[in-house]
Structure formats: structure tokens, C-alpha cells
Amino acid sequence: MEKLKKIFQNKNRKIENLVVFLIILVITLLVINKIIKEDDPKETKKYTNAELASTNTKEVGVDDLEAKLEKILSQMEGVGNVSVLITYSESSKMVPLYNESTSKSVTEETDTSGGTRTIESEDSEKNIVTGSDSNPVTGKTVYPTIEGAIVTAEGASNSGVKANIVAAVEAVTGLGTHKIQVFEKAREP
């Protein structure tokens, strides 16, 4: 009987030692993983939303609309020299592509009294994809909403020409006629 008690006591100690060893192993792996992530040679630059939103509108094509309208309106009969100003609700912004990775681990532990415990952990990482020039790669560009347009034209004193200008700007921008103002351009001396 005494021999059986010794065997079971040794067995319990072995299980306790095994559990302690597994806990130390898991902690060591987590520390090593954190150290490796901190020493990662390919650093990914963290961009703030302000940096991504502060792109030049010329880069994303918003200012081109004014130039295109000026060119086409000046070719219309009776319009003459023309200038266009378009107002927007906000600036354009480029939405970057993200590289996302998620890892999940489940650890099951057994204590000395026979109880089991399950530990689940989930890590996720989201980095902006950058090109060879270290600039963010964009997934899409969000253009601002057009709020209004002002057009000055030499021929705007003619009501027919003015109506044609309003119709052309409305067709291109989608604005209502009440948001398009057309004025006669002052003659240069």
C-alpha cells in the first residue's frame, strides 16, 4: 500500500512539473514573439488619417474639372473668355490599402486537482500597404461633394448664353440651377 502512495505522489509531482513547464514555455514564446516583432527590420510607417486626407486635390483630379469646364465653355457660341470656380464640401482623400493579419491561439491547462482551464487569445495587426517609394498604395479615392459653382464669362449679359452656361455646368457637376451663379466678366482695359 505504501508503494502505491509513493507512485501516485510521484505521478502528481510529475504532472505539476509538466504544467509548470508548459506555463513557462508559453510565457517564453510570447516574450520571444514580442521581441521579434519589435526588431522587425522592415518597419511599416504608421500614417495618421490627417496625413492621408491631406493629399493635394490636384493629384486626385478635382481641379481638373474647373479647367475642363473653362475650356469647353469658352468654345460655346457667344461665351468668350470664361473663368470657373467650384466649391467643395471637403477636400479629397485617398483611402489606402491595408494588410491585415490575425492570429488566434487556444491553450488548455489542467491543474493539480483535475480542473481544466481554456485560454483563448487573438491578435490582429493592420498595416498600410506602401509602394516602392514608401508612399501608401491607395485602394480608392473619395472625391468631395460639389457644393456650388461660379462662372464669369464675357458673353453672360446675353440671357441665352447665360442659360446655356448654367445648363452645361449643371450637366457636368450635377448641381441644381440654384447653386450655379453666372456673371458677366469685366472687360479688361
pLDDT at 56: 41
Question: Coil, strand, or helix at residue 8?
Answer: helix
CB 103 within 8 A of CB 122: yes
Highest average pLDDT, of 69-73, 102-106, 113-117, 139-143, comes from 69-73
Question: For 152-173, how does the pLDDT look when each residue is reduced to its tens digit (9 = 90+)?
Answer: 999 889 999 999 999 999 999 8
Other Cβ atoms less than 10 A from the Cβ of 16: the count is 12
| Span 124-146, average pLDDT | 77
Strand ordering across the sheet containing 180-184:
82-88, 146-153, 180-184
pLDDT of residue 7: 55
Torsion, CA 154, CA 156, CA 157, CA 161, rounded to 10: 120
Alpha helices in the chain (DSSP H): 2-38, 49-53, 63-74, 159-173
Q: What is the pTM of this model?
A: 0.47
**Position 55 pLDDT exceeds 60:** no
Averaged pLDDT, 8-28? 75
Neighbours of 82 (CB within 10 A): 22
Comparison of pLDDT for 87 and 134, the residue scoring more: 87
Supply the DSSP symbol for 179.
Answer: G
Q: Taking 60 as the threshold, does the pLDDT of residue 44 lie above it?
A: no
Q: Which of residues 52 and 92 earns the better pLDDT score?
A: 92
Q: Does the CA dihedral 14-17-22-25 come out positive or negative? A: negative
| Mean local confidence (pLDDT), 117-134 | 80
* Annotated domain spans of the chain: 55-97+136-189
Does 59 score more than 50 pLDDT? no
CA 165 to chain centre: 37
The fold adopted by the segment(s) 55-97+136-189 is GMP Synthetase; Chain A, domain 3 (3.30.300)
